[in-house]
Structure 1
Amino acid sequence: MQEARTWRELLGQILSDPKERQHLIETLNITPITFTRWVSGESDPRPQNLRQLINALPQKYQEQMRKLVKEEKGVGEIAATPQETSLKAIPAEFYARVLVARASTTENLRFWSTCHLILQQAIGQLDPERRGMSIWVVRCMPPSGPYKKVRSLRESVGLGTAPWIGSLEQNAMFLGAESLAGNVVTLCRPGVIQNLDREHNLMPASRVDYEKSVAIYPILYAGRTAGVLLVSSTQVDYFLSQTRTDLVQQYADLVALAFEPQDFYMPEDIALCVMPSHKQQKEYFAKFRQMVAETMLRAATKNQPVNNMQADMLVWQKLEEELLQIPARQTVRDYSETPAVSIIKLY
């Protein structure tokens, strides 16, 4: 690759790789035409976008990009010292946007579209430098089982910045009593871990790739819980700042507007069970979309048609029932394989 003389030339060279181009488009949520204008000099990126661009680049290009940006008059100061957002609260005008969206969106799309709008704003404010963050709205599954209790949580709507992909929903899984999210729902109070490498034994936590610190806040309404807002970072101690955790709390409160009153459960209605690891769950979710299509087809042949959202929930419920049996079967197997002398020692 020829040595780039300006940051725009370097960006053009990077964008010539289709994989890198797609990665930057998804990570920065910027259209291809915008990148073309930056490369040609037709327009300049906003300060925040330029800093996000540098942090989203592969490591091998970041230092060179900073050097070239500093050399361009008028934009050099932008990348010299990356700054954390000065906003200490959700902008007032954004609350108005959420209320308008909630009022004008059809019932079938209201939950997803409202959550997605809020998460886009949240990830931009909580991770302005694109250091690496994932945000999930995790909701309670409907009560089930012989006692009609909420037995698990499911990751519902999620967004990420690199190294996570932009839209996380295709990777959605169940969480249960073994997770920090489950602990937050059960106790109805926030949970924050600043260093998962160091503190993983202090409280329940089902960890995912890249996750170094996490902040989880319950989604509440009138003393009842609908789930949690789960925010993970690639940075250790990312949630030491009171300003940052206050923001997570504010966004958890705002996400509550996406739920209907019947989606919130009293503490006595929640009895979370242990869910298998994400690795085990992936095998069951491999054919999720196929299962949804088959569910809709079967319903149509019985003259009981269901829409995509209803079929989704039916499949989630089917998978929940199957997965809840795994820890129980594992416990029975472990018990049966334990030597008799060991069993005696337990008593």
Structure 2
Amino acid sequence: MQEARTWRELLGQIISDPKEKQHLIDTLNVTPITFTRWVGGESDPRPQNLRQLINALPQRYQEQMRQLVKEERGVAEIVAAPQEVTLKTIPAEFYARVLVARASTTENLRFWSTSHLILQQAIGQLDPERHGMSIWVVRCMPPSGPYKKVRSLRESVGLGTPPWVGNLEQNAMFLGAESLAGNVVTLCRPGIIQNLDKEHNLMPASRVEHEKSTAIYPILYAGKIAGVLLVSSTQIDYFLSQSRTDLVQQYADLVALAFEPEDFYAPEEIALCVMPSHHQQKEHFSRFRQMVAETMMRAATRNKPVNNQQADMLVWQRLEEELLQIPARKVISLDVETNNQN
């Protein structure tokens, strides 16, 4: 490979590899034509995008890219910018965007599109240097069981920066009383763990790979709760900054607009149960898409067609019931074992 003389030339060489190009497109959430314009000098990346680009490159290119950027007049200060939250509050114009999106989106897409719009803005503001963050809207499952209570939570809309994938929804799982999110829903107050390696015994926590610290804020409306905004970082003590946790709180308040009033539940309607580990849940979720397709086909043959969103919920409810039986079966088997020994 010929030695690049500018950062644009280096970028052009890197994205000549289709795999590297697709990785950067997914990570930076930009279009292929944007890269073409950057390489050709037709446009300049915003400072935040340029810093994100450097951090998203393979390790072997990062230092060279930093040096080449420094040599280009007018952008040297970008590399040296402090790695901190760029804004302490959500931009006022973004609130207007959310309100317009909510008003103009059809009912069946409103929750997902509004949540996704908010998470895109949140992750860009909370992790501008792409140290590694996942952010989820976790919502209460509809009441079920003999007492018609909310028995679990489900990860619903999620985005990530490396080492997490960009779209986390394919990895969505249940959370219950064993999780910090469950604790936050039960108590209706935030939960923050600065170092999961040290503090994991101090409060409930259902930990995932790469997660070192987490901040979870309830999504509230009129004294009721719909779920939580769950933010995880690869960095220890990432949520020590008051401005950063204030920002998470603001986004939790804003994402409440994605929900309908009936999605919020009073504290007495919630009785979370223990859910199996993510590892155990994966076996049950391996056929999720197939189960959704089968549910839609069965409904159609009965002349009671359901759309994809409705079929999704029916499968989630079926899986919830299956998974809630696992801890119960374990307790029963342990009791039988103990009685046999006696």
TM range (shorter): over 0.9
The CA deviation string for residues 89-110 of structure 1, in whole angstroms up to 9 with x for no partner, is 1111111111111111111011
Distance apart, 1:59 and its partner CA: 2.2
| Counterpart for residue 66 of structure 1 | 66
Q: What pairs up with 1:12-31 in 2 under 5 angstroms?
A: 12-31=12-31
The range that moved more, 64-73 or 309-318, is 64-73
| Counterpart for residue 301 of structure 2 | 301
| Counterpart for residue 97 of structure 1 | 97
- Say which SS state the counterpart of residue 156 (structure 2) adopts: strand
Distance apart, 1:124 and its partner CA: 1.0
| Counterpart for residue 194 of structure 1 | 194
Q: What pairs up with 1:103-118 in 2 under 5 angstroms?
A: 103-118=103-118
The answer to whether the Cα contact below 8 Å between 1:51 and 1:82 also exists between their aligned partners in 2 is no
Q: What pairs up with 1:135-214 in 2 under 5 angstroms?
A: 135-214=135-214
List runs of 5+ in structure 1 lacking aligned partners.
Answer: none
Q: What is the CA–CA distance in structure 2 between the aligned matches of 1:10 and 1:92, rounded to whole Å?
A: 37
Distance apart, 1:81 and its partner CA: 3.3
After TM superposition, the score normalised by the length of structure 1 is 0.95
| Counterpart for residue 258 of structure 1 | 258
Distance apart, 1:165 and its partner CA: 1.1
Q: Give RMSD over aligned pairs.
A: 1.4
List runs of 5+ in structure 2 lacking aligned partners.
Answer: none
Report sequence identity in percent. Answer: 85
The answer to whether the Cα contact below 8 Å between 1:131 and 1:161 also exists between their aligned partners in 2 is yes
| Counterpart for residue 317 of structure 2 | 317
| Counterpart for residue 124 of structure 1 | 124
- Say which SS state the counterpart of residue 128 (structure 1) adopts: coil
The CA deviation string for residues 277-320 of structure 1, in whole angstroms up to 9 with x for no partner, is 11111111111111111101100000001111110000000000
Q: What pairs up with 1:242-253 in 2 under 5 angstroms?
A: 242-253=242-253
The answer to whether the Cα contact below 8 Å between 1:154 and 1:173 also exists between their aligned partners in 2 is yes
Q: What pairs up with 1:29-44 in 2 under 5 angstroms?
A: 29-44=29-44
The answer to whether the Cα contact below 8 Å between 2:85 and 2:244 also exists between their aligned partners in 1 is no
Distance apart, 1:340 and its partner CA: 6.5
Distance apart, 1:214 and its partner CA: 0.4
Say if 1:79 and 1:145 are closer, same or farther in 2 by CA, change over 3 A. Answer: same
| Counterpart for residue 84 of structure 1 | 84
Q: What is the CA–CA distance in structure 2 between the aligned matches of 1:75 and 1:173, rounded to whole Å?
A: 42
One-letter amino acid of the structure 2 residue matched with residue 253 of structure 1 = D
The range that moved more, 234-243 or 18-27, is 18-27
Distance apart, 1:338 and its partner CA: 4.3
Distance apart, 1:83 and its partner CA: 4.0
One-letter amino acid of the structure 2 residue matched with residue 191 of structure 1 = G
